[in-house]
Chain A
Amino acid sequence: MNADRGELAGTFKERARKALGDAHLRVALDRTTGNARTKRAAAVAAWPDFDRARAAAAAIKDHALQNFPYYLEQFERNALASGARLHWARDAKEACAAVIKICRETRAKTVTRSKSMLGEEIGLPHALAEAGVRRVETDLAEHIIQLAGETPSHIIWPAAHRTREDVSKLFEKHHRDHLLLTEVEAMVDSARRELRDDFFSADVGISGANFLVAETGAICTITNEGNAELTTTPPRVHIVTAGIEKIVATTEHALQLTRVLVRSATGADLTQYTTFHCGPKRAGDLDGPEEFHIVLVDHGRTQMLEDMPEMLRCLRCGACLNHCVVYRKIGGHAYGGAYPGPMGSAITPVFDGLEPSRDLPHACTLNGHCKQVCPVDIPLPTILRDWRAKSYRQGFESRAVRLGLALWAFIASKPALYRAALAVALPLLRRRGKDGWISALPFAPGWTESRDFPAPPEKTFLARIASGEEA
């Protein structure tokens, strides 16, 4: 749905190449992910029991997922009792339609929105534009990329690809005051002034949810800027869009997950705001929305419960992105979907289909750093490898790759043939070497484009052992 966007045009390899050639992007990514890694490491080091908390967090999510219908029904009952209205959406289209319908019924002209990756996943910004509803992004980074006309490139810092120097220029161009500001604080103030009127005049506020709490029917948002509260409180209508996997049994569970989520995301103990929203404004309340709608989105999650249940534990903390050597080099837009990095590569094939996104599970070194830092221990390398196996079974791999692997397996499963082939091939390869190194490999040009390859020895280890040479 985003294929028309400039930064998402082309194939994965084309986008990756463009990103690799962008020195400016490198600076932005190094700053953001470098800070994130340092702060997370400090937070984890300061909590000796982090590993236990991480195991408990995974168990909390698994418990909710293993009793999915039970807790979703409990959530529905309690949310309805609180005065909320629920809308179940099977897919992205139904989810957007539910939001647009509410906007139409309330004759909304302007909606404010606090950051929600689910909104990006279902294409809500696009759907609102098509419906003629003015959308104002209130998260600072979302505000930046809305001004730039882009999509998020990171799930925690949507403008991770932008430097503060970029932001300075964008604000000068788009903000009413047209001031060239260089101090971060002054830029934040400028955004505040810019957004203030919309916070109070918007007809509808749309938020995501970090948790859906079954025992109370409340939804929880975790933010740093307070924009979620200003998005959800003053407008007459509050719409929550949330994936059904956000369900947890209890408030205590939500708070336990918050402890590992925030540390993994920003390295802080807590975010500035942790808010539980439960139903619309009641008689006697000073503020709050008159209507409170919750759009519960499946969009492939029921299928994921079958195919890769661990993925539904994901808290969207972004730690796997920050620690991924590939993400750190190519940034988020190269991945082409709403979610980049390891977790994005694991779930984008669910949303977009495996064939068009088959590069994503392959563009990974399977180094396991993502799993190591995941606060809910999602076996991301295993999930990505499973996608590779599926891609292979479904015939998406090129003929050359299939032939190469089959040929290798054929020869390597016949030891005598294998030995004979090496006895012929190694001296041939050796002859290509100069001063012990080969600078162009005919069968692996990708290697020698940027690296040399050592010339192989005359005889293999096993051939030397066979000829009686011992250590």
Chain B
Amino acid sequence: MVQNVHPGGPRVGLFATCLVDMLRPNIGFSALELLRAAGCTVEIPKTQTCCGQPAYNSGDDASARKLARQVIEIFEGFDYLVAPSGSCAATIRVHYPDLFRAEPAMRARAEKLSAKTWELLSFLVDVRGFAPTGVSCKASATYHDTCSGLRELGIKTQPRALLSAIEGLEMRALEGEETCCGFGGTFCVKYSEISDAIVTEKAENVVATGADLLLGGDLGCLLNMAGKLRRAGAPIRVFHAAELLAGRAIHAIGEEKP
């Protein structure tokens, strides 16, 4: 019999992502709880910083490689790298190998890490077959499919399957749920007026659902939509889906008073 070297389940390295680390630790704690509930042994490497996506999408490949190398070194020893973000997970899973196309040895390491890198919600469903138990939330909610997760990682049904296990939660369809919110990383600052026009339409569609909560799986997009909804005076509260699933949806984005 093969010895189970990880009696506590697979060893998961939690990559919090720089945005969650800096702006919304509650998502990190939610991810930690959910992964443990799904039977994983979770470690949070303390030298982690950023996956390099801002540099990569700005065309600064040298800087992106520098940070990618660091992520590979930190996480390649784990059974899985899991991140509560579709776009950061997609950067590692889809784009790291390409970033090292001219360095065969690094490319091989990037491919190995790529194969075991997962976005949190899809990992919980597709790898762990997890469903939350005993979580309730008496509210209506709508879900925005964040683009990288949807189109680069095929995340569509997994968050909905998880959310359907929350008692009392009523899900409402969002018009244009697969349409980009206009965040686009540095795009939203560089082309802020175009980004504003896009997120304005998104916010109108969100408000039209009449839902209490807006949920999604990427903090960047959620910040964009939450910031617009707040500026527009819409009372809808915005959470990462993991916060709801972990029963930690107490203060929505922007509600944590000093």
B126 at the binding interface (Cβ < 8 Å):
no
- Which residue in B191, B196, B224 is a CB contact (below 8 Å) of A363? B191
Instruction: For residue B226, give the distance in angstroms from its CB to the closest CB of chain A.
Output: 7
Instruction: For residue A363, give the distance in angstroms from its CB to the closest CB of chain B.
Output: 5
Question: A447 contacts B227, CB within 8 Å?
Answer: yes
Question: B193 contacts A16, CB within 8 Å?
Answer: yes
Closest to A451 in B: B227
Question: B66 contacts A456, CB within 8 Å?
Answer: no
A17 at the binding interface (Cβ < 8 Å):
yes
Question: B57 contacts A385, CB within 8 Å?
Answer: yes
> Could you tell me the distance between the alpha carbons of A437 and B23 in the complex, rounded to whole angstroms?
12
Question: B63 contacts A406, CB within 8 Å?
Answer: yes
B70 at the binding interface (Cβ < 8 Å):
yes
Question: A408 contacts B54, CB within 8 Å?
Answer: yes
> Could you tell me the distance between the alpha carbons of A81 and B182 in the complex, rounded to whole angstroms?
53
Instruction: For residue B150, give the distance in angstroms from its CB to the closest CB of chain A.
Output: 8
- Which residue in A413, A454, A464, A470 is a CB contact (below 8 Å) of B49? A413
Instruction: For residue A30, give the distance in angstroms from its CB to the closest CB of chain B.
Output: 9
Bitwise, A444-471 to B at CB < 8 A (1) or not (0) is 1111011111111101111011100011
Stretch binding the partner chain, chosen from A123-131, A338-346, A428-436: A428-436
Interface residues on B, range: 35 or more
B89 at the binding interface (Cβ < 8 Å):
no
Question: A365 contacts B20, CB within 8 Å?
Answer: no
Bitwise, A388-422 to B at CB < 8 A (1) or not (0) is 11111100010001100110110011010010001
A366 at the binding interface (Cβ < 8 Å):
yes
> Could you tell me the distance between the alpha carbons of A422 and B151 in the complex, rounded to whole angstroms?
32
- Which residue in A330, A368, A371, A405 is a CB contact (below 8 Å) of B148? A368
Question: B151 contacts A368, CB within 8 Å?
Answer: yes
Question: B231 contacts A451, CB within 8 Å?
Answer: yes
Closest to A388 in B: B59
With A365-B187, A452-B231, A461-B28 already in contact, the answer to whether A415 and B46 are too (CB < 8 A) is yes
CB-defined contacts of A393 to chain B, threshold 8 Å:
59
B188 at the binding interface (Cβ < 8 Å):
yes
CB-defined contacts of B206 to chain A, threshold 8 Å:
none
Closest to A363 in B: B191
Question: B184 contacts A367, CB within 8 Å?
Answer: yes
B198 at the binding interface (Cβ < 8 Å):
yes
With A450-B231, A456-B22, A460-B21 already in contact, the answer to whether A413 and B66 are too (CB < 8 A) is yes
Question: B29 contacts A471, CB within 8 Å?
Answer: yes
Instruction: For residue B106, give the distance in angstroms from its CB to the closest CB of chain A.
Output: 15
Closest to B30 in A: A471
Stretch binding the partner chain, chosen from B4-12, B110-118, B159-167, B248-256: B248-256
Question: A437 contacts B197, CB within 8 Å?
Answer: no
In residues 122-179 of chain B, which contact A (Cβ within 8 Å)? 147-148, 150-152, 178-179
Can you list 15 residue pairs at the A/B interface with Cβ under 8 Å? A325-B179, A365-B198, A368-B148, A368-B152, A409-B63, A412-B52, A415-B47, A437-B230, A446-B190, A450-B231, A452-B231, A454-B223, A461-B16, A464-B25, A471-B32
Residues on A facing B (Cβ under 8 Å): 13, 16-17, 20, 325-326, 329-330, 362-369, 371-372, 385, 387-393, 397, 401-402, 405-406, 408-409, 412-413, 415, 418, 422, 426, 430, 433, 435-437, 444-447, 449-457, 459-462, 464-466, 470-471
